[in-house]
């Protein structure tokens, strides 16, 4: 049943609880897992919630085990939900390419076959999973969103399309202009078809150009030793759009850092503190 949550793993960490859940998704038509960190309930009975969206080839466990975020979240009193990056299962369409198919959902709603039946990660993250977290686990307070690489793309797009929902947004090494770079063009053509006009609703640069919603404070960290920086990421494009419309975006180029979780672990504390500042103002 889609509204039933199965707790499949649980660990105490920094006096909080790291959990992993499974449920059936009616939107994605498959079983899905997500991870959730909840800080010490005796200190933080109603913690705000940060969404973390992971990148290509990842699932809900990468950030859980590699970022070292629980220590900081426990201190600040932030819960973190870590969804999977795509639908999963034998019946779900897939290809041998690492940057398409399972593990590479790009946080959009596919319109092309054989993808359209399952690849609706945007609707899943906008509607279904928030409803489960609210109705089953009691998360009804302020929320922010963050992510890495493909997940940074997802965080920016979801925030800009749903500004009333989030207090802040941040990203590590995000794909900011997917309609103009190979990763995004390959995925969008596959999932969305040839109509490039329809691609723009999934592109942070295009969304920000004509943005009319609530201003959401935005922080982006990018390593200057990232092998994907020049061809796939190009965060200066989003920074330029933000400057053109006087939007509050902070882009920090971090000397010597690459695309790995070592980079994320180095700056995740600053990102959580950034989000907590704005969550407390909600």
- Catalytic sites, residue numbers: 149, 226, 259
Q: What gap in Å lies between CA 105 and CA 190, rounded to an integer? A: 11
Evaluate whether 177 touches 133 at the Cβ level (below 8 Å): no
User: Which DSSP string corresponds to 40-97?
Assistant: -TTT-SS--EEEEE--TT--TTHHHHHS-HHHHHHHHT-EEEEE-SS--STTS---S-
Q: What gap in Å lies between CA 150 and CA 171, rounded to an integer? A: 10
Q: Quick one: which of 202, 185, 201, 181 has its CA closest to 193? A: 185
Tokens coding 259: 């695309």
Place of tokens 């994605």: 28
Residues 6 or more apart whose Cβ sits within 8 Å of residue 275: 50, 78, 144, 146, 167, 168, 170
Secondary structure (3-state) at 229: helix
Q: What gap in Å lies between CA 260 and CA 268, rounded to an integer? A: 13
């Amino acid at each position: 049943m889609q509204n039933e949550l199965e707790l499949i793993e649980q660990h105490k960490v920094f006096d909080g609880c790291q959990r992993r859940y499974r449920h059936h998704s009616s939107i994605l038509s498959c079983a899905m897992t997500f991870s959730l960190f909840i800080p010490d309930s005796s200190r933080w009975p109603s913690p705000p919630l940060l969404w973390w969206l992971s990148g290509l080839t990842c699932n809900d466990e990468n950030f859980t085990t590699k970022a070292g975020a629980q220590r900081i979240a426990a201190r600040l009193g932030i819960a973190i939900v870590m969804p999977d990056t795509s639908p999963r299962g034998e019946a779900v369409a897939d290809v041998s390419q690492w940057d398409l198919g399972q593990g590479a959902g790009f946080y959009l709603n596919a319109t092309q076959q054989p993808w359209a039946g399952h690849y609706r990660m945007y609707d899943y993250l906008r509607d279904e999973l928030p409803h489960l977290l609210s109705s089953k686990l009691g998360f009804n307070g302020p929320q922010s969103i963050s992510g890495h690489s493909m997940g940074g793309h997802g965080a920016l797009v979801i925030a800009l399309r749903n500004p009333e929902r989030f207090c802040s947004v941040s990203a590590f090494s995000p794909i900011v202009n997917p309609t103009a770079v190979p990763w995004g063009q390959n995925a969008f053509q596959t999932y969305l078809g040839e109509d490039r006009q329809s691609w723009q609703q999934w592109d942070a640069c295009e969304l920000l150009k004509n943005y009319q919603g609530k201003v959401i404070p935005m922080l982006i960290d990018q390593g200057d030793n990232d092998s994907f920086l020049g061809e796939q990421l190009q965060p200066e494009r989003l920074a330029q759009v933000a400057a053109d419309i006087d939007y509050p975006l902070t882009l920090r180029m971090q000397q010597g850092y690459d695309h790995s979780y070592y980079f994320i672990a180095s700056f995740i504390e600053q990102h959580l503190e950034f989000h907590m500042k704005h969550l407390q103002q909600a």
